[in-house]
Amino acid sequence: MKFLRYLVPMGIFLGLLGFLFVGLSLDPREVPSPLIGKPAPAFELSRLDDPAQTVGREDLLGKVWMLNVWASWCAPCREEHPLVIDIAKRKLVPVYGLNYKDQTRAALGWLANLGDPYTATLVDADGRVGIDFGVYGVPETFIIDGQGIIRFKHTGPLTPDIVRTRIEPLLKELQGAG
Amino acid sequence: MIPEIGHFALWLAVGVTLLLGTLPLVGAHRGRTDLMALARPATQVLLGLIVFSYGCLILSFVNNDFSVLNVASHSNSQLPLMYRIAATWGSHEGSLMLWLLMQAGWAWAVATFSKSLPLPVLSRILAVMGLLTLSFLLFVLFTSNPFDRIFPIPADGRDLNPQLQDPGMIFHPPMLYMGYVGMSVAFAFAVAALIGGNLDVMWARWMRPWTTVAWAFLTFGIALGSWWAYYELGWGGWWFWDAVENASFMPWLVATALIHSLAVTEKRGSFKSWTVLLAITGYSLALLGTFLVRSGVITSVHSFAADPKRGAFILVMLAITVAAALALYAWRAPKVGLGARFSSVSRESMLLANNVLFIVATAAVMLGTLYPLILDALGLGKISVGPPYFNAVYVPIMAVLVFFMGLGPMARWKNDSVPALAVRLRWAAGVTVVSAALTAWIGGQITLGSVVGLLMAYWILYTVLAELWERVRPAGGVQANVLHRLSQLPRATVGMMVAHVGVAVFVFGVTMVGTYDIERDVAMAPGDSTTVSGYTFTYQGTQPVRGPNYEAMRGHLVVTRGGVQVSEMFPEKRVYKVQRNPMTEAAIDSRIHGDLYVQLGEPVAGDKWLVRIWVKPFVAWIWGGCLLMGLGGIWAVTDRRYRVRATREAPTQAGGASVAR
């Protein structure tokens, strides 16, 4: 029976291997795609700068908007932030922030430091809305059209390439149609 | 032609590793000296081929040969020469070449500097390293050929990611890989010992310096990466619990456990099968890290272009390598025996606590890194784990670890008692509490985190001093003896003390910067000034400047303290010509008691710019502490007993080997 004890490491390793194998067939950057082409989930969240005011899904109907999920503890968010600022500055689309599982003070400091490109930042302190949106990790970016339908999702930091080749054409198409 | 020759050399290397991985093993099994004698020259040829192939890759980059896909994607004709060389490891394919280079280099080093090893043991070790090299060679050749051509040939390359165009890129990856791949030496020693069944004190003594050197390189590599992130990412953080950082941190934690458990195995013959298991685990985690980073199963800042085919290949490699090692372990380890007994309070039990805590810490990091993946695989939804998790789990483990770190070196082997230890450490404990309280009071801000951190730092420092004092205390009141005994301390002991003080320095830096960090944002017009913790920053204006492959706006700030100028700082905002993304280049004035860190934000109205200023007390101590840890390790390796052994057992090879060691 002593022999069995020495098989424990092997058992642990095989278990881990199983998970890694399954993980290989999953793509974390991929949307749980059912959401694309479906209406954005309903939400009603208070604003970071003024908790008394709330913004909901209904308020944003009728225009194309972008939802950028971020948190002050998130390293890649800083990396993509200049691009978000750039998008807002060029007035490509109104950008709404979803401050995900964060502390208000840290989040406000972050925006003060790095610049605030958001038309409004919505507070999702417990991550509920994030779950509804299928947020896998921060940062994530969604584009929602005038009918409230999710048209685009990107997991991970934006890159100049994605903005140029995917976001800009999509916005042109959506805004041209609307 | 050059890329094809490089490619061909890799195939030749496959042939060599096939020989190296089989014949010496057979030779060791059958006792055939002729086959065993092949191991050393085969290793030399292997290194030669891989160095040659790597040289071809470098040449392709230096010559701007954009018909090679790898060069076209990661270099540019305007890229400065040193970055063109560093760009060889800037891609997935190239970094694997670096891995191969290190792997063959370590094997060569073992073949060259282990003259005291009995031939069968050396043959087995080199054969195992040959097989490990083989798996990576196949990985490179089948999924990640760095010499692939493209057609049509682009006029110029797409340039190295601007964030990588930094001296950090030149030093960090080679250091880190040196440590990472160095874990394979410990792995090979462990597997060779399991095959041969000669797990004894000598085995531990042979293996120890190799493990310690690999560990030291890993320490340097991780610290360099952290320092690089600190000054390059431009927002003053130094550790982000990113999946890739964790991938290098897990092997480090296990390697740290391993060098401590090796101490017990060498001195007391205990922990043998445990030590073997740790050695296997360390390299397995390095492989796991590679899998995580290259396969794209986890999102990360560092990630290379992910490719499921590569992921599948590494997973198979991981499965074969680790499963074979663990199967061997399950088969052979039960016969190893337990070694000397020890009581529940002894140096051994302290080191056991050390090991258990390091393993718990590794498991915690691994859980945080893999948690999203595991939940996803079980279909329980997609979630993310941020630094909040890691900090909450990690800090308490480290606090307990540091407590034992103070006790461990003071405890006697085999048997000690709590009251005796308490008496010997009462002064250290008292002074620790007083010093921590004083420091927190002077700092002017007392938080739970700062007090715990300071207690940890001082506890380590004073217990090391207490130990030092016990060792050199004047016997019989002869003061002159103190200096003599100080100089007689074994280097291994001194190395350990230095490394432990390094931990104290590190913890102190982390605590100070975590508690007393000050951050200020100001919009400044030329002539404006602002004062942050006693330093007055006066903004002089911004000017356009031109670099070799970028254009930049450079700000100019003069820093004074009490009316005396202490520094001039030039933060930049760069736009690289090829990839067009803006980069901020922070200006940092580093001092022993803290860094001034200035970053250029956005232009506001007119000639006003947003300027971000940090004063970060003692932040450099974080990396200084890591440097001390690594240097302590290297110093310990130069200990007499490793050299004496080498000369005594190899009298024919006079001097040469021992000096090189």
- CATH number, domain of A69, equals 3.40.30.10
Answer yes or no: is A66 within a domain.
yes
Answer yes or no: is A12 within a domain.
no
Answer yes or no: is A60 within a domain.
yes
Residue A19 contacts B, CB cutoff 8 Å? yes
φ, ψ of residue A142 in degrees (nearest 5): -120, 150
Alpha-carbon distance A177 to nearest alpha carbon in chain B (angstroms): 31
Helix (H, G, I), strand (E, B) or coil at B574: strand
Comparing CB atoms, the residue among A20, A32, A73 nearest residue B291 is: A20
CB atoms B612 and A73 under 8 Å: no
Specify the range with the lowest mean pLDDT, choosing from A21-30, A39-48, A54-63, B618-627: A21-30
φ, ψ of residue B76 in degrees (nearest 5): -160, 150
Nearest chain A residue (CA) to B371 = A19
CB atoms B334 and A6 under 8 Å: yes
Residue given tokens 């007393």 in the structure block: B516
In this structure, is the dihedral angle defined by the CA atoms of residues B180, B185, B190 and B195, taken in order, positive or negative? positive
For A94, the domain range is: 35-177
Answer yes or no: is A75 within a domain.
yes
Using a 10 angstrom Cβ sphere, with 0-12 exposed, 13-18 middle and 19 or more buried, the burial of residue B29 is middle
Angle between helices B243-268 and B201-232 (to 10 degrees): 150
Does the pLDDT value for residue A67 go beyond 60?
yes
Per CB-CB distance under 8 Å, the chain A contacts of B277 are 9
Is residue B439 within 8 Å of residue B516, measured between CB atoms?
Answer: no
CB atoms A79 and B601 under 8 Å: no
| Chain A 97-116, residues with CB within 8 Å of chain B CB atoms | 101, 109, 112-115
pLDDT along chain B (661 residues), means of 10: 93 97 94 92 97 96 92 89 92 91 96 88 96 95 91 84 84 93 95 88 89 96 91 75 85 96 89 91 91 69 59 89 93 78 87 92 88 70 64 88 91 87 90 92 83 94 92 71 83 94 95 86 88 91 88 91 91 81 83 89 79 90 96 92 56 35 31
- What global pTM score does this model have? 0.83
Residue A1 contacts B, CB cutoff 8 Å? no
pLDDT score at B442:
87
Is residue B13 within 8 Å of residue B49, measured between CB atoms?
Answer: yes
Counted domains in chain A: 1
> What HEC string does B580-619 produce?
CCEEEECEEEEECCEEEEEEEEEECCCCCEEEEEEEECCC
CB atoms B381 and A155 under 8 Å: no
Does the pLDDT value for residue A156 go beyond 70?
yes
The residues with which B560 forms a beta bridge, in sequence order, are: B536, B565
φ, ψ of residue B575 in degrees (nearest 5): -125, 120
> What is the tens place of the pLDDT at every residue in A85-141?
999 988 889 999 999 878 888 888 888 888 899 999 999 887 778 777 877 667 888
Residues 6+ apart with CB under 8 A from A72: A99, A102, A103, A106, A107, A109, A110
CB atoms A3 and B334 under 8 Å: yes
pLDDT score at B246:
87
CB atoms B370 and A115 under 8 Å: no
Distance CA B170, CA B162 (A): 13
CB atoms B330 and A160 under 8 Å: no
Answer yes or no: is A13 within a domain.
no
Is residue B56 within 8 Å of residue B9, measured between CB atoms?
Answer: yes
Distance CA B515, CA B383 (A): 30
Distance CA B281, CA B173 (A): 22
Answer yes or no: is A124 within a domain.
yes
Answer yes or no: is A61 within a domain.
yes
Is residue B63 within 8 Å of residue B127, measured between CB atoms?
Answer: no
Distance CA A137, CA B525 (A): 39
Per CB-CB distance under 8 Å, the chain B contacts of A78 are 233, 235
Comparing CB atoms, the residue among A16, A29, A115 nearest residue B299 is: A29
Per CB-CB distance under 8 Å, the chain A contacts of B240 are 75
The amino acid occupying position A56 is G
pLDDT score at B547:
85
CB atoms A82 and B581 under 8 Å: yes
pLDDT score at A138:
76
